[in-house]
Structure 1
Amino acid sequence: MNRHADLVVRGDVVMTMSDDPAVGDRIDDGAVVIQRDRIVAVTTADDAAQRFRATDQLGGPGSIVMPGLINGHQHLTGDRLLRSTIPDDLGLDLALERWALPSHAAHTGDMDELSATLSLIEGVTNGITFTVEAGTVAHPARVLDAYEAVGVGGTLGSWGWDVADGVHAGPVDEVIDRQRASIETAAGHDRVEGWVTLVGHDLMSDELVVRASELARSLGTRITFHMSPSTGDARSYRRRTGRRPLVHLAGLGALGEHVLVAHAVHIDDAEVDVLLDHDVAVASCPWAYLRLGQQVTGSFHHPRLLRHGGRIALGCDSENAGDAIDVLLAARLFAGLTKDTLGAPSAFSARRALGLATIDGARALGLDHEIGSLEVGKRADVVVVDATGPVWTPHADDPTTALVWAADGRSVRDVVASGRVVVRDGACETVDHRSLAAEAHQMHLTLVSKCGAHPRDQ
């Protein structure tokens, strides 16, 4: 007698992204069988039909099935409601001073929730089922509501710093208490984890980063912060400590496998060694570095990290740096930068690029036991790609190459997150973004007025 299943997802090709030889990397005419929020079988379509009786089905001919994508660094709030408004010819300091920071200071709870909801909708319709929130959240409970509404997974944190002024600034004890409160807000959630989330850069004292790192360790969670997307952090740390940032943080005992550093672009050889020696993960956001003119082409050490076993996830960053929440686009750019930096087309494959968006990204977050590949027992985060469009004609034998070099998130048709169909036929099933358009426009105008400039005046 056939076993009952809630959902069977079929594809001409199932790309498991598994490193287990017993599972295999690819199953032609395959199927993923889901019961509640877990994968119970990854097999051929014929075998699934013989063994399981499904309530619902997705995919079929003309489909490619792969794991949910992972966004390792995304500001869900703060800049989202200013999307494509912050002028792209402003330097980062001016963009922050005139636009981003005034926007952060003006954010209400309603703005945080709407911004996060819109960000997560865009992400999931591009195949992203797990997002590391980068910390601009002022109202964590409202962002958790956004995760709940859209139905995807991720992390939750609220920025803190204790150097200089700002909406998230405060004494060390206050910042640590805020971190603990954010983590408690997500406690017990089945898809969202509370993380310690500092702004980083040179806006955290030694005491704060050490205590924040210890807090993450003691609570069994992780910490993320920004460091060295440009040369400014290195100059600041050398003036203050006589050492480069990551070398200094290692000396404080603040680094370890529980740390995810965003960016780490302008680092030197000693800092590369620090990341490797301490098993620190890095979130690489290549589009941000190009849009902000941060000279990544002259200082791109992430390929070396990978070559020596370092852990890297891909991120899309914020609206003043990336605009598109599309990890497949980030994978393409990372692959191209790697080939160009090393001067060798053989240095990096489409398979490795897609791995950064899936299983290798999950490893960077310490979540490869749960997400990142299609394997029995893992969370049922599954993406169906429509392989019938123009970019798929003629049909490629190796869908990995097409996914990375020809396609992008617009090829995503259906998405399952924790066993629930959240995108069907390209539209978000859980929240209709069109119903939020009028409110988003009004909040956009409010933020533009708070920033003291109209985009037409820039």
Structure 2
Amino acid sequence: MPMAETRILSARWVLPVVPRGTVLEDHCVVVRGERIVEILPDAQASACHPDAERLEFPSHALLPGFVNTHTHAAMTLLRGVGGDLPLMEWLEKHVWPAEARLLSGEFVHAGSRLAVAEMIRGGTTCFSDMYLFPEETARVVDASGIRAALGLTVIDFPTPWASTPGEYFDKGAALVAAWQGHPRIGFTVAPHAPYTVGDDSLRKIRARAEALGVAVHMHVHETAHEVSTALAEHGERPLQRLARLGLLEQPLAAVHMTQIDDHEHERLPESFTSVVHCPESNLKLASGFCPVARLLGDGINVALGTDGVASNNDLDMLGEMRTAALLAKGVSGDATAVSASQALEMATLNGARALGLEAQIGSLEPGKLADLIAINLGGLEFQPAHDPHAQIVYAATREAVTDVFVAGQPLLRGRELRTLDLDELGAMTRVWQERMQAAH
């Protein structure tokens, strides 16, 4: 069997994420095949691997690819639908009616392609998705080279994908059977929210997640209205109900979590819960503020997600990092809350932890998969570059992402997509826009 190709990625800075805040100047990441084998000073890397291909990033930072821990990828085709509205009005009067008219496997395949292209161009190498027709998203992930954890969605009401809870479970099982073992596709069990999934389904969800050894991925405590309605109808807060049903006894990626009382703050560190913070979606929908600084102080794993484009308008993890860091300072009244290096950790390693992938991705370490990106800090707007962490979190935009690799394979080189065609995507999107306008 031939030896895998060795490639040296030489950069002005390497930001491995661990230990937090580490900056390695004039270092190289040595990749053999799909994995990182060494991180060395430039001269040493050249001496140790004289015949390896070299890729030069003289004004760049190399860092782990971003892990977008909560998306609804196909909803990219609903960008701008029903803007500037609170959550339930946005869902009930705009999003759900649009989905009832348009949702199909074809819609999901097209929307997922558009989303994946946007994410790659913004430095995301792995995303955790929750949507219908996930078999179509799987096809896009397979073809594009990105990594994903696909949600086995469960809702207790009919949709164009499934009619009964049993059918959701059966279709989820079929997805696992079709794609289990794929090197870049994993799974979560993804009940939509406590207010759309009953106790019987949640018990089955817990058993399914335990059997598969994966996390449960769920919207939880997104708004004050959700919590007050649960108290009025069931006499308990949603998180209390999930605890009663055993869902805090195994990995849970609890998305949003803007409403947490003191008892829940005490209970969460004893659980296996990761909080997935979606700051820009929460701000746009006026859903509330996740107490990120307090959660991190309590030792809770806090990851970042963009949510869907319909409630955010982009899939920009650099934007989420900046907003998360600034919002944490404002909400806590503490300028030291969520440093730039912490924000980067939330967008990379913490997302991997929430998905159970921290042994494989999320930081640049020998033995891990070579999911990494290059951000060009050579522009005038980033000078002087005293602290590359601060420049990336507080100054960089996604246009500064020049190169993206997943398992050592280039998906973006010099801002050019390698596995998706921009012109084709543009034409496809225009067709869907016309179809959506005609169906309105």
TM-score band by shorter chain is: over 0.9
User: Could you tell me how far apart the structure 2 residues matched to 1:55 and 1:420 are?
Assistant: 15
357-366 or 116-125, larger mean C-alpha shift: 357-366
- Structure 2 counterparts to residues 252-331 of structure 1, below 5 A: 252-296=245-289, 300-331=290-321
Q: Tell whether the 8 Å contact from 1:42 to 1:375 is kept in structure 2 after alignment.
A: yes
User: Could you tell me how far apart the structure 2 residues matched to 1:326 and 1:128 are?
Assistant: 8
Sort the Cα spacing of 1:195 and 1:364 in 2 relative to 1 into closer, same or farther, 3 A.
closer
Q: Tell whether the 8 Å contact from 2:112 to 2:140 is kept in structure 1 after alignment.
A: yes
Asked if 1:15 corresponds to 2:15, the answer is yes
User: Could you tell me how far apart the structure 1 residues matched to 2:228 and 2:335 are?
Assistant: 34
**Displacement of 1:348:** 2.5
User: Could you tell me how far apart the structure 1 residues matched to 2:249 and 2:305 are?
Assistant: 20
TM-score between both structures, scaled by the size of structure 2: 0.94
Q: Tell whether the 8 Å contact from 2:4 to 2:33 is kept in structure 1 after alignment.
A: no
Residue 109 of structure 2 aligns with which residue?
Answer: 113
Sort the Cα spacing of 1:206 and 1:168 in 2 relative to 1 into closer, same or farther, 3 A.
farther
411-420 or 53-62, larger mean C-alpha shift: 53-62
**Displacement of 1:204:** 0.6
Deviating beyond 6 angstroms after TM superposition, the runs of 4 or more aligned structure 1 residues are none
- Structure 2 counterparts to residues 99-110 of structure 1, below 5 A: 99-105=94-100, 106-110=102-106
Sort the Cα spacing of 1:201 and 1:120 in 2 relative to 1 into closer, same or farther, 3 A.
same
User: Could you tell me how far apart the structure 1 residues matched to 2:202 and 2:23 are?
Assistant: 43
Q: Secondary structure at the match of 2:202?
A: helix
Residue 124 of structure 1 aligns with which residue?
Answer: 120
- Structure 2 counterparts to residues 131-142 of structure 1, below 5 A: 131-133=127-129, 135-138=130-133, 140-142=134-136
Sort the Cα spacing of 1:225 and 1:449 in 2 relative to 1 into closer, same or farther, 3 A.
farther
Asked if 1:154 corresponds to 2:148, the answer is yes
Match of 2:139 among 119, 140, 145: 145
Q: Tell whether the 8 Å contact from 1:64 to 1:385 is kept in structure 2 after alignment.
A: yes
Match of 2:346 among 342, 356, 360: 356
Residue 345 of structure 1 aligns with which residue?
Answer: 335
**Displacement of 1:55:** 5.3
Sort the Cα spacing of 1:255 and 1:181 in 2 relative to 1 into closer, same or farther, 3 A.
farther
Sort the Cα spacing of 1:222 and 1:184 in 2 relative to 1 into closer, same or farther, 3 A.
farther
Q: Tell whether the 8 Å contact from 1:272 to 1:301 is kept in structure 2 after alignment.
A: no
User: Could you tell me how far apart the structure 1 residues matched to 2:57 and 2:305 are?
Assistant: 30
User: Could you tell me how far apart the structure 1 residues matched to 2:82 and 2:240 are?
Assistant: 35
- Structure 2 counterparts to residues 28-427 of structure 1, below 5 A: 28-53=25-50, 56-77=53-74, 79-84=75-80, 86-105=81-100, 106-133=102-129, 135-138=130-133, 140-162=134-156, 164-167=157-160, 170-296=163-289, 300-394=290-384, 396-427=385-416
Kindly report the root-mean-square deviation, in angstroms, between the aligned alpha carbons of the 2 structures: 1.9
Q: Tell whether the 8 Å contact from 1:263 to 1:285 is kept in structure 2 after alignment.
A: yes
Q: Tell whether the 8 Å contact from 2:132 to 2:161 is kept in structure 1 after alignment.
A: no
1:80-120 deviation line (CA, Å, top 9, x unaligned): 11223x14223323322343223333222222112111111
192-201 or 118-127, larger mean C-alpha shift: 192-201
1:281-323 deviation line (CA, Å, top 9, x unaligned): 1111000011112232xxx322211111101110001122111
Q: Tell whether the 8 Å contact from 1:7 to 1:54 is kept in structure 2 after alignment.
A: no
Task: Report how many residues are paired.
Answer: 437
Q: Tell whether the 8 Å contact from 1:354 to 1:404 is kept in structure 2 after alignment.
A: yes
Residue 418 of structure 2 aligns with which residue?
Answer: 429
User: Could you tell me how far apart the structure 1 residues matched to 2:113 and 2:374 are?
Assistant: 22
**Displacement of 1:405:** 0.6
Sort the Cα spacing of 1:262 and 1:10 in 2 relative to 1 into closer, same or farther, 3 A.
same
**Displacement of 1:240:** 2.8
**Displacement of 1:445:** 2.3
274-283 or 418-427, larger mean C-alpha shift: 274-283
**Displacement of 1:158:** 4.2
Q: Tell whether the 8 Å contact from 2:361 to 2:368 is kept in structure 1 after alignment.
A: yes
User: Could you tell me how far apart the structure 2 residues matched to 1:293 and 1:206 are?
Assistant: 28
Residue 444 of structure 1 aligns with which residue?
Answer: 433
User: Could you tell me how far apart the structure 1 residues matched to 2:365 and 2:162 are?
Assistant: 43
Q: Tell whether the 8 Å contact from 1:41 to 1:375 is kept in structure 2 after alignment.
A: yes
Residue 456 of structure 1 aligns with which residue?
Answer: none
User: Could you tell me how far apart the structure 1 residues matched to 2:230 and 2:340 are?
Assistant: 37
301-310 or 169-178, larger mean C-alpha shift: 169-178
1:393-441 deviation line (CA, Å, top 9, x unaligned): 22x1210011111112221111111110110111211111221212211
Q: Tell whether the 8 Å contact from 1:75 to 1:318 is kept in structure 2 after alignment.
A: yes
Q: Tell whether the 8 Å contact from 2:231 to 2:237 is kept in structure 1 after alignment.
A: yes
Q: Tell whether the 8 Å contact from 2:340 to 2:393 is kept in structure 1 after alignment.
A: yes
Q: Secondary structure at the match of 1:121?
A: helix
- The runs of 5 or more residues in structure 2 that have no matched partner are none
- The runs of 5 or more residues in structure 1 that have no matched partner are 453-458
Q: Tell whether the 8 Å contact from 2:275 to 2:301 is kept in structure 1 after alignment.
A: yes
Identity %: 29
Q: Tell whether the 8 Å contact from 2:152 to 2:187 is kept in structure 1 after alignment.
A: no
Sort the Cα spacing of 1:367 and 1:422 in 2 relative to 1 into closer, same or farther, 3 A.
same
User: Could you tell me how far apart the structure 1 residues matched to 2:56 and 2:118 are?
Assistant: 21
Q: Secondary structure at the match of 1:346?
A: coil
